[in-house]
Amino acid sequence: MSATHDDGGCRQAAAPSAPRLSASEPNTLPEVFDRAVRRFADRPALDFFGRKWTYRDVGELTDRVAEGLIRLGVGHGVKVGLCLPNSPYSVVFYFAILKSGGTVVNYNPLYTPRECLAQILDSDTTIMVLPDIERVYGPVAAVADEAGLRHLVVCPFADALPFGRGVLYRLFKRTEKARVHDDARHVSFSKLLSGRSATQRRPAPRPDDVALLQYTGGTTGVPKGAMLTHANLAGNVRQLSPLMQGGGLRDGQERVLAVIPLFHVFAMTVAMNLALDMGAQIVLVPQFKIEELLATIARTKPTFFPAVPTIFAAINKAAETADVDLRSIRLCISGGAPLPAEVGARFEALTGCRLSEGYGLTESSPVVSVNPFDARRRAGSVGLPLVDTTIEIRDPNCSDRLMPAGAKGEVYIRGPQIMAGYWRRPADSSEVLVDGALRTGDVGYRDPEGFLFLVDRIKDLIICGGYNVYPRQIEDALYEHEAVEEVVAIGIPDAYRGESPKAFVKLRAGFPTTPDELRAFLSERISKIEMPREIEIRTSLPKTAVGKLSKKELIAEERERAGLAAMNRRASA
Ligand code: AMP
């Protein structure tokens, strides 16, 4: 802590300042993209099932798509939805929208019609880009009228594949080619490209323009659109590149495995924007299926692999029975959720790579900190703040007060990657943007060298008989058991203690165990108050679109169960 002064009873301290980034680097995403196209023109940029596009190809196609979008009316501030599984269309449309001055709104292609409608209306999306796959097209088309969409730009998915429909059907088994309506609202990809060259150019976006509305809060609260500016997103790329170079990645030489969905901010920044900035080849995988993924790794020999813990765990598990060579992988970042120590260690042993855990949020574009890729790294830490980023640990009861090293508190972040606010939600924005810092809702502490350790999320905290129980302590302890593959701990209603912990566990195949055995195992590792009142074994646990274990569904189930039980009690009273 560098300086302190009194502030109305709360001791306030200035956080250590971070080194500054160079001002001469690109500060909008089209600048990042155009520079990559110039620098790496003849190098492969995209691989989709073996079909490849060079940087020059992607640059030319993106410019043509941008012209088509301008003809459709896209310009400054126009919201264009991207509702696509990972594919060359994801990359080309993302940059084309930005080049035409528009704002990208990312959609999960597996949304229900209701979810689509809500996000279209909230964000003011007027044009939606989507594939001709019924499972994705159907829900959007069903609400297009009600949502007031002006255009649906429909991309022929199989045309991007080297072997046509066969692969498409293998990938999306239960889906079929959509019967796309033929009316003035629908614009096919070929029609989008076919118009006369646009004479009207759009002014280049400015660093402070909103590049992206990224919806978040889906696992806990009402989804809100985080407004990420060009400077936020380009800034996060600039903050990450020295770290990746330090980890041994070389410009124009790497292959990046992009299996996490590009509509999620982690993949968007690390597997797309950063990858393009480094002149890497992006291997696009539209769906996470373990056999497909292993075959893709064997074929493309990726060198850099950003993913979430559940994907690393799935590969570890598959490697127990499949004969896979994963040794091309040199560097990995795990993000989005806590990485169980043995999952990381096992993956490193299988591949010989360096797997470092990173931390971030949608609201911070997303990367905040990463564990160094060298000997300095700390087990269990999410690392050191990126360049130009300051992490503050504040007293949850007196947010003006900074906590000393080792003490737990709420994590606040400052840096160029912090969002401009939530779209049309000033009250929510001022809740989380406090004196220019992002209030994360995460509890953590820093060690004396500045390494950040996360304890849990404040909103996941279980208040059990007046004690704070962090579900993560229970989860980490259960992960130490060899039979436990996945675990989620939540608070459930408890008539006596207010809330009690409950753990849901998925077991590894071939490792039978019982809740009582797990409880006995836990009794040596956690306190009595943390001991789950119930341990339920399930064959699978809910996950979010990016593959994070999700608490929302389990909490809803337990609430419903508690509500029904209360109703039954009242009925029989
Ligand atoms: P989202 O905005 O949906 O990506 O979620 C951000 C949240 O994910 C953060 O506030 C953290 O609670 C959690 N998170 C991200 N990275 C990690 C990590 N490495 N370990 C633990 N939690 C994480």
pLDDT bin (cut points 50, 70, 90) of residue 13 is very low
For position 11, what pLDDT does the model report? 44
Question: What are the helix and strand counts (H, E) for the chain?
Answer: 17, 30
The verdict on the CB of residue 335 being under 6 Å from ligand 1 is: yes
Atom of ligand 1 at shortest distance to CA of 358?
19
The verdict on the CB of residue 364 being under 6 Å from ligand 1 is: no
Q: Domain check: are 414 and 515 in the same one?
A: no
The verdict on the CB of residue 382 being under 6 Å from ligand 1 is: yes
In a domain, 21, yes or no: no
pLDDT at 410 > cutoff 80: yes
Q: Domain check: are 187 and 305 in the same one?
A: yes
Nearest residue (by CA) to ligand 1, atom 8, is 336
> 410 in helix, strand or coil?
strand
Q: What is the mean pLDDT of residues 455-473?
A: 89
The verdict on the CB of residue 337 being under 6 Å from ligand 1 is: yes
In a domain, 494, yes or no: yes
For position 420, what pLDDT does the model report? 98
Q: Domain check: are 389 and 342 in the same one?
A: yes
> 110 in helix, strand or coil?
coil
For position 24, what pLDDT does the model report? 79
In a domain, 19, yes or no: no
The answer to whether the Cα torsion of 249, 255, 258, 264 is positive or negative is positive
List strand residue ranges (DSSP E) for 196-266, in order. 210-216, 224-229, 255-258
Distance 82 CA to ligand 1 centre (A): 23
Q: Domain check: are 482 and 393 in the same one?
A: no
For position 7, what pLDDT does the model report? 39
Q: Domain check: are 76 and 162 in the same one?
A: yes
Distance 189 CA to ligand 1 centre (A): 36
Q: Give the CA distances from residue 293 to residues 262, 283, 312, 377, in Å, rounded to whole numbers and listed in that order.
A: 16, 11, 11, 29
pLDDT at 1 > cutoff 50: no
Q: What is the mean pLDDT of residues 542-565?
A: 89
Global confidence as pTM: 0.90
* 365, 377, 442, 453: residue to mutate for ligand 1 pocket, most atoms within 8 A of CB: 442
Q: List the single range of 161-165, 437-441, 484-488 with lowest mean pLDDT.
A: 161-165
Q: List the single range of 62-71, 162-171, 275-284, 534-543 with lowest mean pLDDT.
A: 162-171
In a domain, 417, yes or no: yes
Q: Domain check: are 88 and 186 in the same one?
A: yes
The verdict on the CB of residue 172 being under 6 Å from ligand 1 is: no
User: How is residue 415 written in tokens?
Assistant: 């840096």
Atom of ligand 1 at shortest distance to CA of 264?
4
The verdict on the CB of residue 338 being under 6 Å from ligand 1 is: yes
In a domain, 455, yes or no: no
pLDDT bin (cut points 50, 70, 90) of residue 416 is very high
**Strand pairing category for 103-106 and 79-82:** parallel
- Mark which of 414, 443, 472 sits at the end of a domain: 443
pLDDT at 74 > cutoff 90: yes
The verdict on the CB of residue 433 being under 6 Å from ligand 1 is: no
Best-predicted range by mean pLDDT (13-22, 111-120, 175-184) = 111-120
pLDDT at 8 > cutoff 50: no
Note the helical H segments in 227-355.
230-246, 265-266, 275-277, 290-300, 309-321, 341-351
- Mark which of 408, 443, 478 sits at the end of a domain: 443
End-to-end CA distance of the chain: 60
For position 168, what pLDDT does the model report? 62
Q: Domain check: are 264 and 365 in the same one?
A: yes
In a domain, 2, yes or no: no
What is the rounded average pLDDT for all residues in the chain?
Answer: 91
pLDDT at 175 > cutoff 70: no
Q: Domain check: are 556 and 439 in the same one?
A: no
Q: Domain check: are 490 and 520 in the same one?
A: yes
Q: What is the mean pLDDT of residues 368-381?
A: 95
Q: What is the CATH number of the domain that holds 100?
A: 3.40.50.12780
Distance 345 CA to ligand 1 centre (A): 20
DSSP secondary structure of 354-404: EEEEEEE-GGGSSEEEE--SSTT--TT--BEEPTT-EEEEEETTEEEEEPP
Q: What is the mean pLDDT of residues 66-82?
A: 96
The verdict on the CB of residue 475 being under 6 Å from ligand 1 is: no
Distance 340 CA to ligand 1 centre (A): 14
Atom of ligand 1 at shortest distance to CA of 217?
3
pLDDT bin (cut points 50, 70, 90) of residue 248 is very high
Distance 265 CA to ligand 1 centre (A): 11
* 361, 378, 411, 422: residue to mutate for ligand 1 pocket, most atoms within 8 A of CB: 361
In a domain, 355, yes or no: yes
Question: How many domains are contained in the chain?
Answer: 2
For position 21, what pLDDT does the model report? 64
Q: What is the mean pLDDT of residues 535-541?
A: 97
Q: What is the CATH number of the domain that holds 504?
A: 3.30.300.30
* 377, 382, 386: residue to mutate for ligand 1 pocket, most atoms within 8 A of CB: 382
Distance 338 CA to ligand 1 centre (A): 8
pLDDT at 183 > cutoff 80: yes
Structural domain boundaries enclosing 183: 29-443
pLDDT bin (cut points 50, 70, 90) of residue 12 is very low
The type of residue at 564 is L
The model's pLDDT over 490-529, given as tens digits with 9 standing for 90+, comes to: 999 988 888 999 999 999 999 999 999 999 999 999 989 9
Q: Domain check: are 305 and 433 in the same one?
A: yes
Atom of ligand 1 at shortest distance to CA of 338?
20
The verdict on the CB of residue 309 being under 6 Å from ligand 1 is: no
Distance 472 CA to ligand 1 centre (A): 12
Atom of ligand 1 at shortest distance to CA of 265?
4
Pick the more confident residue, 346 or 195.
346
The verdict on the CB of residue 548 being under 6 Å from ligand 1 is: no
The verdict on the CB of residue 440 being under 6 Å from ligand 1 is: yes
Distance 266 CA to ligand 1 centre (A): 10
In a domain, 13, yes or no: no
For position 467, what pLDDT does the model report? 85
Nearest residue (by CA) to ligand 1, atom 4, is 361
Q: Domain check: are 418 and 515 in the same one?
A: no
Nearest residue (by CA) to ligand 1, atom 22, is 337
Note the helical H segments in 100-153.
113-123, 134-147
pLDDT at 369 > cutoff 60: yes
- Mark which of 381, 411, 443 sits at the end of a domain: 443
Q: List the single range of 8-22, 89-103, 217-231, 371-385 with lowest mean pLDDT.
A: 8-22
Q: Domain check: are 408 and 472 in the same one?
A: no
Cis peptide before 366 (omega within 30 of 0): yes
For position 6, what pLDDT does the model report? 37
Nearest residue (by CA) to ligand 1, atom 6, is 361
